[in-house]
Amino acid sequence: MAKMNFGGVIENVVTREEFPLSKALETLKGETIAVIGYGVQGPGQALNLKDNGFNVIVGQRKNSKTWDKAIADGWVPGETLFEIEEACQKGTIIQYLLSDAAQIKMWDTVKKHLTAGKTLYFSHGFGITYKERTGIIPPADVDVIMIAPKGSGTSLRRLFLEGRGLNSSYAVFQDASGKAMDKVIALGIGIGSGYLFETDFKREVYSDLTGERGTLMGAIQGIFAAQYQVLRENGHTPSEAFNETIEELTQSLMPLVAENGMDWMYANCSTTAQRGALDWWKPFRDATLPVFKKLYSEVASGNEAQRSIDSNSKPDYREKLDAELKDLRESEMWQTGATVRSLRPERQK
């Protein structure tokens, strides 16, 4: 574990150089990793672990789309693919990667297989942090750990196949064995993390829920929609409005920001763009800061968690979700986006 300076703040980080894959494999020698759930995070983590040489099985509900997806990905029923309860029984490390709502629903089934000495693994702090609401309270004689990749399972897998890595946070909630820290680092390396940075379950879920609702998805969609609307109301075509709002950002600027930082971007754009960006970023900050403060307060109070639990547990949840996603997908902005993407050079080869 190394000490790294992040803007003047010292944090604990772990890299693949100081904790190589060979050490991770030795640490988890003899363990059976049962990946429970094959939806968002399950496929990327399970496949990366398998490709890295770990003993991995998958637990998923039979005769579901995700069961069929697991088979298509090479998992073999009765050998490496099992019903959830059987996988929990076989696993010594249970990676609990179902959705938050499904974790609540399946907890009693999973808990009875958490016998002494096993390890319970999460990729999100939700179930543990809001345990009074979720009912997820692990037995005292198991390790409880977390690796939270900072991106989608699809990105985790794609970067792994490119020989790169997606950064992840790590945390130990309960160390019954005295070896939980080594286990969590080994699993973080095993799933293909870039570097690992330390957190705890509460900080992870607070930052994650804020980020999802903020700059990662909620806020960015809101900003996209507002700028697109203003441009369209002032006579700009859908193509022009989309390109100036989204396409230039995602295809040209964000990759450069990822490589070099926003400070570099400000220093390497036209003087006109530079002046405008410097003049306008603070008004945007000041306009959105109260929203972010309210958002964080709602997360910290548990109100956001309760809204998610209540909404996701309703029998008509999927139907209402599909309707909301349909409205988003069929909006002029994202219909224009589909056309713009089809016109990218790589799509025309």
Alpha helices by DSSP H, 218-331: 218-233, 238-242, 248, 254-260, 262-267, 271-301, 303-312, 317-329
DSSP state at residue 345: G
Catalytic residue status for 236: no
What's the rounded Cα separation, in Å, for the pair 128 and 117?
19
% helix, strand, coil for the chain, step of 5: 55, 15, 30
Give the residue among 98, 94, 190, 205 at the shortest CA–CA distance from 148.
Answer: 205
| Beta partners for residue 96, in sequence order | 36
Asked if 173 and 200 touch (Cβ cutoff 8 Å), the reply is yes
Pairing of strands 33-36, 93-96: parallel
Query: Is the alpha carbon torsion for 204, 208, 209, 210 positive or negative?
Result: positive
Sign of the alpha-carbon torsion through 206, 33, 157, 17: positive
**Residue type present at position 169:** S
Query: In which element (H, E) is residue 342 found?
Result: helix 332-342
Marked catalytic residue, from 50, 118, 124, 213: 124
**336: nearest Cα among 260, 256, 218, 229:** 229
CA 79 centroid distance within chain: 28
Considering just the CA atoms, what is the radius of gyration of the chain in Å?
22
Q: Are 73 and 58 in contact (CB under 8 A)?
A: no
Give the integer Cα–Cα distance in Å for 148 and 196: 9
List active site positions.
124
